[in-house]
Chain A
Amino acid sequence: MAQSKKHILIVDDEADVRDVLALALTAKGYRVTGAETPHEGVRLVKSDPPNLVISDLQMEDSDGLEMIEQIKTISPDMPVILLTGMIFDAETVRNTISKKVSCYLEKTSSLQRVTQEAQRLLGDLKSA
């Protein structure tokens, strides 16, 4: 039964962030798994392919963009949300980051915005 739910992988080195985000997404009906490091994230993408990846940018053993590039070699069409505390200017986002990820969100974005973006990328957002 659990396997029929869409699977979201959260990669963030902060357990609190992973937990809160997982609670919000589980409440929306998704199956959520968490990875503390990009290395663990890539391993999970191979062993239990998710429908969506939500990743932090700066982590201890590698950065999120590197991991996203590895994920894209495994599954080129997999949607990815980059969730970061770093604030980029609009031009940087438009010219570089948006070409590598499906969606870029600052960590100061509301949780509702994050879940809505996840639902949108998974085709689950009902149009108003």
Chain B
Amino acid sequence: MKERLQIAQRLTTNEPRAARQMAALEPLLAKRIDFTRGIMTARQAEGLEGAKKSLLSDSGGESLHEIQKAISKFQEDQKVLLRERDKASYLQAETTKWTVLTGIGLNFLLLGFTAWLVKDDISARNRAARAMEEANAQLETKVQERTAELAAANEVLRAENLERQWGSKSLEHQLRYSNLIINSINDLVFVLAKSLMITRVNPAVSHATGMGTQELITTKLTSFMRPRDGAVDPSGPEPCAQALKEGRDLQNFPVILVDKQGKTKSYSMNLYPLRDRDKVVGGVVTLHADGNGGGK
């Protein structure tokens, strides 16, 4: 009994109220044990009569009632305590349940939010990819258009370049051909400024005068050619200058040419005014060898 009481006391160490109840129960139990021992002692000493006398003189009946009352009170308190604990346990379980449910709910919310974020990010990336594709397509179109423009411009430039080359060759050909015609003439050909300054001659002139082309250019025609005696009035104006001034031809005009060695030769001269937009800017003189003289 004592041992069991100690176990009960250890179990209630953390509960002051129960510990106090246990402490109050201990003397009552000790008293009851002593009473029981007294009965057993009377039984051994005086037999059943002694035991019966002791039981009848039960001074411990009151203590037994107190014990029962204390135990009932203890039991009642323990039941209350158990109910409180059960209630607390239930509340804790409810709290745990709601905590778990709230956590699960939050997890779902977080999961949903994360899914929304991922979806939004994927949508944004898709939009960006589409925008980039469109930009690339536009860029490619622009590049193609620009390339076509450049190719067309290049083609135009190439054609213009060829046209210029063609024009240059054409002019070169025409000039060479014109020179060929003039140079192949056996008559002496002079191109004159209006002042009778020589600006161009054909090879026949150099051959007849003995002077080089460079020597003849910028020399006045009248410095080595003069009208044949009697052809004009010596006191009158120089006939070539006068004809150019008046813008008229001279045909078969008799002249004398003096070469570099001072030798003279008779020629028949023709003079044609050079007109540029109806304005006489010079003249062309041709001399044809003519020993007979004559003319105007």
The answer to whether A and B belong to the same complex is: yes
Binary CB contact string for chain A from 19 to 57 against chain B (1 if under 8 A, 0 otherwise) = 011011001000000000000000000000000000000
Residues on the A chain within 8 Å of B162, using CB: 20, 23-24, 27, 111
Report which of B169, B171, B174, B177 forms a contact with A20, defined as CB distance below 8 A. Answer: B169
- Does any Cβ of B come within 8 Å of A16's Cβ? yes
Are A107 and B173 touching (Cβ within 8 A)? yes
Given contacts A20-B165, A86-B177, contact A108 B159 (CB under 8 A): no
Q: Binary interface profile of B, 123-166, with partner A (CB < 8 Å = 1, else 0)?
A: 00000000000000000000000000000000100110011011
Flag if A27 contacts B158 (CB, 8 Å). Answer: yes
Q: Contact residue range for chain A?
A: 10 to 19
In the bound complex, CA of A121 to CA of B79 (Å): 127
CB–CB A110/B163 < 8 A: yes
Residues on A with beta carbons closer than 8 Å to the beta carbon of B165: 16, 20
Residue numbers in B under 8 Å from A114 (CB-CB) = 166
Closest B residue to A111 by CB, please name it. B166
- Is B242 among interface residues, defined by CB-CB distance under 8 A? no
Q: Is B170 an interface residue (CB 8 A)?
A: yes
The secondary-structure label for the interface of chain B is helix
Question: Of A23, A27, A85, which contacts B173 at CB under 8 A?
Answer: A85
> How many residues of chain B get a CB closer than 8 Å to chain A's CBs?
14
A119 to B282: give the CA distance in the assembly, Å.
Answer: 44
Is there a chain B Cβ closer than 8 Å to A112's Cβ? yes
Q: With A85-B174, A85-B177, A107-B174 as given contacts, are A27 and B166 in contact (CB-CB < 8 Å)? A: no
Q: Which residues of A contact B155 (CB under 8 A)?
A: 27
Instruction: Give the distance in Å from the alpha carbon of A85 to the alpha carbon of B158 in the complex.
Output: 24
A108 to B167, CA, bound (A): 7
B161-199 residues with Cβ-Cβ distance < 8 A to A are: 162-163, 165-167, 169-171, 173-174, 177
Q: Interface centre among B155, B158, B165, by most A CB within 10 Å? A: B165
Is A14 close to B, CB under 8 A? yes
B166 adjacent to A14 (CB under 8 Å) = no
Q: Chain A contacts of B166 at CB under 8 A?
A: 20-21, 24, 110-111, 114
Q: Which chain A residues have a beta carbon within 8 Å of chain B's beta carbons?
A: 14, 16-17, 20-21, 23-24, 27, 85-86, 107-108, 110-112, 114
Instruction: Write 15 A-B pairs (CB below 8 A) sorted by A numbering.
Output: A14-B169, A16-B169, A17-B169, A20-B166, A20-B169, A23-B162, A24-B162, A85-B170, A85-B174, A85-B177, A86-B177, A108-B171, A110-B166, A111-B163, A114-B166
